[in-house]
């Protein structure tokens, strides 16, 4: 359940999806919902999201170390339960960042990943980033599809695929204006 607070980002109903779901940007007040979502991921979904196994304790450490001032996270909520999220971690250099996405098993293959990734990419573009990187295993067909849908160029990098979405200089300037 999300913590309520006065500055909560407004929820946006998902027009083409089930009306029970809303998409909004997460804040530090959503830390407990962030962790609860990660803990509900199946072992295979944890492996796909983190490119390796993650215990409950490791997920708690990961969630607790999020820098909410620089990390952009969008969440897909079913009522008050966070069912999916996309995270954008900016790199310290090069005006680039890394995108990750997780959607709970019961909500996969419904177009929610596309909405979550689109929200993060729009934010990255508006913040003037030049590129966003996504890392995923070869057999992760959902991430393959998302990378292709958003025009990512993919390459093999350290045993995983790296999809790179780049933004043209004029596109970044136009969005930032």
At 162-171, the pLDDT tens digits run 999 999 864 5
21 contact partners, CB below 8 Å, separation of at least 6: 13, 14, 76, 77, 78, 83, 107, 112
With respect to residue 6, please indicate whether it lies within any of the assigned structural domains: no
With respect to residue 23, please indicate whether it lies within any of the assigned structural domains: yes
| Residue-level pLDDT at 94 | 76
How many structural domains compose the chain? 1
DSSP H stretches of helix in 21-111: 31-40, 43-50, 56-64
Q: Is the pLDDT of residue 13 over 90?
A: no
Q: Which domain holds residue 33?
A: 12-176
Q: pLDDT tens, 120-175?
A: 999 999 999 999 999 999 889 889 999 999 999 999 977 799 999 999 864 555 55
With respect to residue 56, please indicate whether it lies within any of the assigned structural domains: yes
Q: pLDDT tens, 36-59?
A: 999 999 999 999 999 888 999 999
Please report, for the domain that includes residue 86, its CATH number: 3.40.630.30
With respect to residue 17, please indicate whether it lies within any of the assigned structural domains: yes
| Residue-level pLDDT at 173 | 53
With respect to residue 30, please indicate whether it lies within any of the assigned structural domains: yes
Q: pLDDT tens, 49-94?
A: 998 889 999 999 999 999 999 999 999 999 999 999 999 999 877 7
With respect to residue 5, please indicate whether it lies within any of the assigned structural domains: no
With respect to residue 18, please indicate whether it lies within any of the assigned structural domains: yes
Which tokens is 21 given? 């779901």
With respect to residue 61, please indicate whether it lies within any of the assigned structural domains: yes
């Amino acid at each position: 359940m999300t913590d309520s607070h006065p500055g909560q980002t407004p929820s946006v109903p998902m027009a083409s999806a089930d009306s029970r779901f809303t998409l909004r940007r997460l804040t530090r007040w959503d830390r407990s919902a962030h962790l609860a979502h990660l803990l509900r991921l199946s072992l295979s979904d944890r492996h796909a999201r983190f490119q390796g196994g993650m215990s409950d304790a490791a997920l708690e450490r990961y969630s607790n170390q999020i820098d909410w001032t620089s990390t952009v996270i969008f969440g897909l909520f079913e009522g008050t339960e966070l069912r999916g999220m996309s995270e954008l971690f900016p790199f310290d250099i090069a005006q680039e960042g890394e995108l990750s996405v997780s959607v709970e098993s019961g909500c996969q293959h419904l177009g929610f990943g596309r909405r979550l990734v689109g929200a993060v990419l729009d934010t990255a573009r508006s913040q003037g980033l030049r590129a966003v990187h996504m890392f995923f295993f070869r057999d992760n067909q959902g991430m393959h599809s998302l990378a292709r849908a958003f025009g990512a160029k993919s390459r093999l990098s350290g045993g995983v695929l790296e999809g790179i979405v780049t933004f043209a200089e004029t596109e970044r300037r136009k969005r930032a204006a």
